[in-house]
Amino acid sequence: MTKPLMSTEYQEYFSGLQENLNRLYEVARRARDRGLDPVLNPEPKITHDIAERVEQLIGPPGIVDRMRELGTMNRREMAFKVAEEIVHGRFGKFDREKAADQAVRTALAIMTEGVTIAPLQGIPEIKIKQNPNRSQYLAVYFAGPIRPAGGTAQALTLVVADFARRRLGLDRYQPSEEAVKRFVEEVRLYERRVRRFQYHVSDEDLEFAVRNLPVEAAGVPTDRYEVSSFRDVPGIETNRLRGGALIVVVDGIVGRAGKLLGICERLRLDGWEWLSRLGKVKSDASKPRAGFMEEIIVGRPVFSFPHRVGGFRLRYGRARNTGLAAVGVHPATMIVLNKFLTTGVQLRIELPGKSAVVTPVDSIEPSVVRLKDGAVLRIESAEEAERLLGDVDAILSLGDVLINAGDFIQNNKNLLPAGYDENQWRLDLERAVKAVGAEAAAERSGLPPQRLGELLEDHSAVPVPREVFSLTDLGVPLHPRYTYHWSEVSKEALMRLRDNLAAAWPGAELFEVALDREDNVHTRKPPRPTRGHGARGPPLRGRAHPGEVPCPRQDGGGDCGGDAAGVRAQPVRVGREGEDARLRRR
């Protein structure tokens, strides 16, 4: 085995671990030598890599060297390659049933890295059985300990079994109508009497999956409850619940059909194309579904429904503390949500997977809230959220949720449109500057070269409104801080607001325009920081900053204030995923 390169300090550290392990193992060996236990040697075996663990766990002998030769493959590719070689006799001659048994168990051990009992106790036996037409097929018997393998590995066990079946020349499984109905009855009885599954699947999907499985997902009895309708079905040895088989089909095959289909396509495995038809909604498949609502537990909060304005906005990326199945949320949002979300809490999400762990990321979009005095604020920090928590009247936007694009690929989901964020704006600015040159860009925009360099290099730098409008002369879209979600306001309401502002706009400082109730409602729909009060609705107020924000007067003259009640609050865009892409160009 090749030893990894490491520093002297690490070598000393790992050498110390090995010496202490050997010392403790020797103590255990001497204790067993006294003959007070049923076995005279310690059962745990010391291994140094996955190859040794797999051979010690399940075999076959000689697998260590072959796995090390295939070390450049990923685990799934290696599992199928080794299964094929076992069937073809590379590690010894077996009869067909024994070859299938060894191939499936070894492949499962490789996929689970030899750290679970699933290959041993999760699969009690693998048999070759007869179809009604007397052709032979493969049946994999599952037990409760298959659960630690995880849903994907559980489902891939049947894929490996089908892979071995083809190479052994066995026919497909041909279930009877009674066997299909029996499986559905078992699933519903298991949900009522034992426990819920990770996924709630329909009877139609279950029947479709059982009819199309090329190998039988059989099982040994795991619970004392018996079926009442479809009893004594030929080919099924028990009337009791077969929990292991139910878990594999419901949580593995049907529940993870999309992910499983993607794996089969990447490995170029035929015969599993039918997975694409599982989980299709017959009513209106074009509309998003809040699948997590089907399994909601009483007392748990629901933060947003799919594609609702103000819900979490999708943002692609990864922070140092996020990754696969770990998403980022602004720490201020965690506090504003009554501190229900904390680091490590599991969040059920619509896409791309079933759930994810929450971690704090303070460089993404925070929440926008309305306070009890009518003010609308973008909460920039956890400290500010703590201070204002008692004054929050409503949450207008939850801000961004940072999800790694690899999660979509891993779960075989299409990438969704995402909002226009600061990183994309910086790339647009960089492209525009490169197109004309730094000096020409500074001259055309009126920004000093030093300021242009700061906006390009400093990820925390936010341009002021005057700079944003100047940069549009280079073809750069508006910065995300200044693209409001006006698409949620009707054209009529927007024009009414414009006309009222143009008619009432004062000609000198301090600018203040009182809105009536209807206009006040419309200005709240695209959440933006404002402050104000008054019986007729909060006034829009601020001090003039010439050239920063053009006033909406019909003659095009005048300037609006860049302030909101004397504070330099920055406007913010929010909304459903991809909505801001429409606002990229002026």
**Boundary (domain end) residue, out of 441, 457, 482:** 482
Q: What is the pLDDT at residue 459? A: 83
Q: For the CA atoms of 242, 247, 250, 253, what is the dihedral angle to 10 degrees?
A: -110
Mean pLDDT of 242-262: 92
Which of 110-124, 441-455, 470-484, 508-522 is predicted least confidently?
Answer: 508-522
Q: What is the pLDDT at residue 566? A: 27
Q: Are residues 467 and 544 in the same domain?
A: no
Q: What is the pLDDT at residue 527? A: 58
Mean pLDDT of 64-73: 91
Q: What is the pLDDT at residue 430? A: 92
Give the pLDDT band of residue 526 (cuts 50, 70, 90). Answer: low
Mean pLDDT of 39-43: 90
Residue 234 lies in a domain: yes
pLDDT of residue 108 exceeding 50:
yes
User: 66-73 long-range contacts, Cβ below 8 Å, gap at least 24?
Assistant: 66/90, 66/91, 67/110, 68/1
Residue span of the structural domain in which 230 resides: 177-277
Residue 232 lies in a domain: yes
Which of 70-74, 357-361, 420-424, 500-504 is predicted least confidently?
Answer: 500-504
Distances, alpha carbon 139 to alpha carbons 127, 161, 347, 384, in Å:
5, 8, 37, 61
Q: Are residues 384 and 346 in the same domain?
A: yes
Q: Which residues have a Cβ under 8 Å from the Cβ of 461 and sit 6 or more positions away?
A: 454, 455
Q: Are residues 501 and 563 in the same domain?
A: yes
Q: Are residues 519 and 476 in the same domain?
A: no
pLDDT in tens, 1-22: 566 678 889 999 999 999 999 9
Number of domains in the chain: 5
Quick one: what percent of the chain has pLDDT higher than 70? 82
Q: List, in sequence order, every residue forming a beta bridge with 401; answer none if it has no partner.
A: 314, 329
**Boundary (domain end) residue, out of 388, 410, 432:** 410
In 317-391, DSSP assigns E strands to 326-329, 346-348, 355-360, 368-371, 376-378
Q: What is the pLDDT at residue 292? A: 59
The CB-side HSE value for 73 (13 A sphere, CA atoms) comes to: 16
Q: Are residues 223 and 205 in the same domain?
A: yes
Q: Residue 316: in which H helix or E strand, if any?
A: strand 313-316
pLDDT of residue 346 exceeding 70:
yes
Give the pLDDT band of residue 538 (cuts 50, 70, 90). Answer: very low
pLDDT of residue 168 exceeding 50:
yes
Q: What is the pLDDT at residue 284? A: 42
Residue 477 lies in a domain: yes
State the chain's mean pLDDT as an integer: 82
pLDDT of residue 233 exceeding 90:
yes
> Token digits for 34?
């006294």
pLDDT of residue 158 exceeding 90:
yes
pLDDT in tens, 76-85: 999 999 999 9
Mean pLDDT of 405-431: 87
pLDDT of residue 259 exceeding 60:
yes
Give the pLDDT band of residue 438 (cuts 50, 70, 90). Answer: confident
Report the range out of 287-291, 431-435, 482-486, 492-496 with the highest average pLDDT: 431-435
Residue 511 lies in a domain: yes
Please check whether residue 80 is in contact with residue 160, taking contact to mean a CB–CB distance below 8 angstroms: yes
pLDDT of residue 73 exceeding 60:
yes
Q: Are residues 427 and 340 in the same domain?
A: no
Q: Are residues 195 and 257 in the same domain?
A: yes
The CB-side HSE value for 382 (13 A sphere, CA atoms) comes to: 12
Give the pLDDT band of residue 157 (cuts 50, 70, 90). Answer: very high
Please check whether residue 350 is in contact with residue 292, taking contact to mean a CB–CB distance below 8 angstroms: yes
Residue 297 lies in a domain: yes
Give the pLDDT band of residue 134 (cuts 50, 70, 90). Answer: very high
Residue 23 lies in a domain: yes
Q: Are residues 403 and 427 in the same domain?
A: no
Q: Are residues 447 and 364 in the same domain?
A: no
Q: Are residues 330 and 406 in the same domain?
A: yes
Quick one: what percent of the chain has pLDDT higher than 90? 48
Q: Greatest CA span in the chain, whole angstroms?
A: 101
pLDDT of residue 487 exceeding 70:
yes
pLDDT of residue 289 exceeding 80:
no
In 346-420, DSSP assigns E strands to 346-348, 355-360, 368-371, 376-378, 392-397, 400-403
Q: Residue 22: in which H helix or E strand, if any?
A: helix 8-33
d(CA 237, CA 127): 13
Mean pLDDT of 271-297: 66
Residue 580 lies in a domain: no
pLDDT of residue 40 exceeding 80:
yes
pLDDT of residue 400 exceeding 60:
yes
Give the pLDDT band of residue 234 (cuts 50, 70, 90). Answer: very high
Residue 248 lies in a domain: yes
Q: Are residues 534 and 554 in the same domain?
A: yes
Which of 101-115, 123-137, 248-262, 495-509 is predicted least confidently?
Answer: 495-509
Q: Are residues 515 and 490 in the same domain?
A: yes
